[in-house]
Structure 1
Amino acid sequence: MDMAIEMSEYFKCILGTLASDIIFWLTWLLEKLGISSQIKLLRWMASVGEFQSNPNFHTRDEQFDNVPVRIYEPKNPVSKPGRCIIYLHGGVGLIGTIRAYAAMCRKFARESGTMVVDVGYRLAPEHPHPAQIEDCMSAVIHLLKEARNYGVDPNRVVLVGDSSGGTLVSVVSQRLVARKDLPKIRAQVLIYPATQGIDLTLPSYQQNPMAPILTTDRALQLATKFVTDEPVDFRGFKKNAHVPDGFLEKYRKWISADCIPDEFKARGYVPIARAPFSEKLYKIFEITFQNDTCPLLSEDDIIRQLPETFLLTCEYDVLRDDGLLYKKRLEDNGVPLTWLHLDKGFHGIMFHSDYAPFQFKDAAKAMGPIVDFIQKC
């Protein structure tokens, strides 16, 4: 029976990878034919999760300080005033939308009995960085100030985000440290977050170049589309050609393979010499060297004031080591941390958590601890 389950998981993974490859190739072709942009097509295709109703909670669309949000409110909340999840979705700031993440938000609302607010922040390339961060900050601050009007205890607000949404949660949490005029965020949940784009030679990048569903090339393709519409030869990024001389040495204590436990190098790791510095590549990825896109660069004084954290990492994920590096920063600074690592997990594994035929066993395994963590807040 266990072998049958393992084979089922394997074939679902293969089918999911093939489907994503076909979708990326097809949307690229349609863009080349002048039918529509690849990003707009990907947004539309990702929105299948919206088309499902659930009688257990009310769903409504509102504006938080001119930022669109979708609220999922249980008909029978656990308590009033209750906790609230603010969900900052992934999608590299390009393809994630309120519609695309409807399934995940329904799942969190149903499983935790908690009101969920999904933030529809503006997307690139139509709205360049830092529009995404500004919208997330505006929506979070609005709820913290108006919490009781929504039946929410302002001291029980939990920020949750996956992938680039985990980056946004990290950035928002760090920015709020300085806001003494607002209630403190109760906790943050980071689901395979991107926490840096500086060292792209870390073990997880070497071990998972073709891992589902976020291959290294796809990650770099989407990341460059976030900052520019121009075609980019991103091969130099794989050897850190975008990193100024001396930068890696300066921040080695925070961003380095030396900070990754040896057990995560067992599948293979060879130090790669940095390619000659490219001013052109640096200009493309310049935002990578700011705290707003690289939470790992924040000083210890900021990190140690962050709220209690749940961190999920996946073994077969190019961003695995981003999570491990942030885990070390949090632990070194005494931030209460719950860490879950999925030995067979891959990037995006939680996205179909509300669709039984497409749900992965490890996704179900992760959802329970995340919900338990949230319910204790």
Structure 2
Amino acid sequence: MGILKKVGLTIAVSVVLFGYIIHRPIPHDVPHRFKYQMLIDVVSFQELLASVTEKLGYSRWWSYRAIPKPPSTLPDGMKVENKMLGGVETVIITPRSFQAQKEPGPAIIHFHGGGWIMGNTGRYLSPDTTMMLLLQAAEETGFVVMSPEYRLAPEHPFPAPYDDCMNSTISFMKSSKRFNVDPKKIILSGDSAGGNLAMAVYIGLIEMQASDPTVELPAMQTLLYPILQTLNFMTPSYEQSREFMFNNNLLPKFWLAYIGLNDQLELADVVARNSHVDKSDVELIEKWNLVSPNLIPDDVVYEDTLNGDVRKLMKQMILNTKISPLLASNEIISKIKKTLVLVCEYDPLRDDGILLVERIKSLGGSAELHHLPTSLHAASHIGASMPGSYYYQENKIFFKSLKDAIFNV
């Protein structure tokens, strides 16, 4: 074969690979569509590359890890420090206005996203976006921001990430005076899987308070496009938007890796079809009303060929409220003081956030929903990295709501 034919064949294969496997077209009404499209194609390519290299035995699935590093420039007067809290390395950001005040002020404890298996405070989807989001949060609110570098699955599956988030939170709350922070104005926050961890930690603190009344509860929780349950992967938002950001199996893969089943990722297809749920199991079916009423398709078939131990583990993890906090009891949910949730229209996780807000309201609690109608998952990160953009302005609105809320708890 001549060199031109080889080049032509390579180009043709590349076009097919990109067009039919990697490229995931997004809706035309998404602001800053070109940048978002590039981001999604990069994520899709990474997932494909990771899966292929693992099958060939070269590396483990999704072995891409980011190296924490501060952004090249900091906002004027912003102080960024690394501290060990509860045995966990953390980043603490203190804005200039906070440094100058004498009275203790509020603080945000933020857990980064990344599907429990990737990301850190220095990077999430592209260099520095999580740090940029943390810096914008500190700048817009004037609050101290703390974020832990929790351990990641699959090397450190559940409960390691949760434990790190809990331990660093408790340590920060107990040493709040050291940072001039008012312990009664601490906000638990997180994005995506970090939102899952934030609510899980809040629930854990509620349970601790039941046996130890001296345990302080956070003043509120703020969750950005959180994943809150692993019972139903076929909510309307999953059906509408899974192809815009993730392939059908990516979120189930994240969950499998998180619960210690990284060696059985082929089960992701089973989970994506909701076939991991036994419709004859009373405990599981009772929880359906908490995630999406009447949304169990009649044609969903339970995958009864699952290994007995795997089936038992899946049920245990589905019902564990440290993994699926949306499934917590009404008694627990009603003790969350205040909740602020941001969801994106074109996001498989949209309905998790909506269901939480509606449930809290139904119990007489305080919850506020911010819905971005033409946005995809990770919109706040895009905004933090694009000053002046639509998403950046939406971040400003969200952080203003957070600031207003904390002074009216």
TM-score band by shorter chain is: 0.7 to 0.9
Please say if residues 145 and 182 of structure 1, whose CA atoms lie closer than 8 Å, have aligned partners that are also in contact.
Answer: no
Query: Counterpart of 2:46?
Result: 23
Q: Deviations over 1:311-334 (max 9, x none)?
A: 111111111111122112211111
Write the mapping of 1:132-151 to structure 2, written as runs, cut at 5 A. Answer: 132-151=161-180
Kindly report structure 1 stretches of 4+ aligned residues shifted beyond 6 Å.
Answer: none
Partners of 1:49 and 1:218 lie apart in 2 by 29
Q: Is 1:66–2:102 an aligned residue pair? A: no
Deviation at 1:148, TM superposition (A): 0.9
Return the index of the structure with the highest Cα Rg. 2
Query: Counterpart of 2:66?
Result: 44
Structure 1 counterpart SS, 2:176: helix
TM-score normalised according to structure 2 size: 0.80
Query: Counterpart of 1:87?
Result: 110
What amino acid is aligned across from residue 46 of structure 2 in structure 1?
I
CA spacing shift, 1:7–1:167, aligned 2, 3 Å? closer
Partners of 2:302 and 2:29 lie apart in 1 by 44
Write the mapping of 1:264-303 to structure 2, written as runs, cut at 5 A. Answer: 271=297, 273-278=299-304, 279-280=306-307, 282-283=311-312, 285-286=314-315, 287-303=317-333
Deviation at 1:104, TM superposition (A): 1.4
Stretches of structure 1 lacking an aligned partner (at least 5 in a row): 260-269
Of 127, 138, 149 in structure 2, the residue corresponding to residue 120 of structure 1 is 149
Q: Deviations over 1:103-158 (max 9, x none)?
A: 21111111211110011111112212111111111111112111111110111101
Higher mean displacement: 201-210 or 160-169:
201-210
Partners of 1:360 and 1:22 lie apart in 2 by 26
Query: Counterpart of 2:225?
Result: 192
Stretches of structure 2 lacking an aligned partner (at least 5 in a row): 1-27, 124-129
Query: Counterpart of 1:267?
Result: none
Please say if residues 249 and 272 of structure 2, whose CA atoms lie closer than 8 Å, have aligned partners that are also in contact.
Answer: no
CA spacing shift, 1:171–1:95, aligned 2, 3 Å? same
Write the mapping of 1:307-326 to structure 2, written as runs, cut at 5 A. Answer: 307-326=337-356
Structure 1 counterpart SS, 2:239: helix
What amino acid is aligned across from residue 228 of structure 2 in structure 1?
T
Query: Counterpart of 1:55?
Result: 76
Structure 2 counterpart SS, 1:157: strand
Partners of 1:10 and 1:352 lie apart in 2 by 11
Structure 1 counterpart SS, 2:120: coil
Query: Counterpart of 1:105?
Result: 134
Query: Counterpart of 2:11?
Result: none
Please say if residues 30 and 374 of structure 2, whose CA atoms lie closer than 8 Å, have aligned partners that are also in contact.
Answer: no
Q: Deviations over 1:335-360 (max 9, x none)?
A: 11111111112111112332227x86
Structure 2 counterpart SS, 1:232: helix
Partners of 1:320 and 1:122 lie apart in 2 by 26
Q: Is 1:340–2:370 an aligned residue pair? A: yes
Deviation at 1:257, TM superposition (A): 4.1
TM-score normalised according to structure 1 size: 0.86
Please say if residues 125 and 229 of structure 1, whose CA atoms lie closer than 8 Å, have aligned partners that are also in contact.
Answer: yes
Query: Counterpart of 2:287?
Result: 251
Q: Is 1:237–2:262 an aligned residue pair? A: no
Please say if residues 202 and 217 of structure 2, whose CA atoms lie closer than 8 Å, have aligned partners that are also in contact.
Answer: no
Please say if residues 203 and 322 of structure 2, whose CA atoms lie closer than 8 Å, have aligned partners that are also in contact.
Answer: no
Query: Counterpart of 1:214?
Result: 246
Partners of 1:73 and 1:17 lie apart in 2 by 32
Of 224, 228, 232 in structure 1, the residue corresponding to residue 256 of structure 2 is 224
Task: State, as a whole percentage, how many aligned pairs show the same letter.
Answer: 25
Partners of 1:364 and 1:284 lie apart in 2 by 43
The count of residues paired between Structure 1 and Structure 2 equals 359
Please say if residues 163 and 193 of structure 1, whose CA atoms lie closer than 8 Å, have aligned partners that are also in contact.
Answer: yes
Query: Counterpart of 2:380?
Result: 350
Higher mean displacement: 272-281 or 311-320:
272-281
CA spacing shift, 1:325–1:340, aligned 2, 3 Å? same
Please say if residues 107 and 353 of structure 1, whose CA atoms lie closer than 8 Å, have aligned partners that are also in contact.
Answer: no
Structure 1 counterpart SS, 2:339: strand
Please say if residues 357 and 368 of structure 2, whose CA atoms lie closer than 8 Å, have aligned partners that are also in contact.
Answer: no
What amino acid is aligned across from residue 332 of structure 1 in structure 2?
S
What amino acid is aligned across from residue 297 of structure 1 in structure 2?
L
Partners of 1:272 and 1:349 lie apart in 2 by 34
Partners of 2:149 and 2:83 lie apart in 1 by 10
Query: Counterpart of 1:264?
Result: none
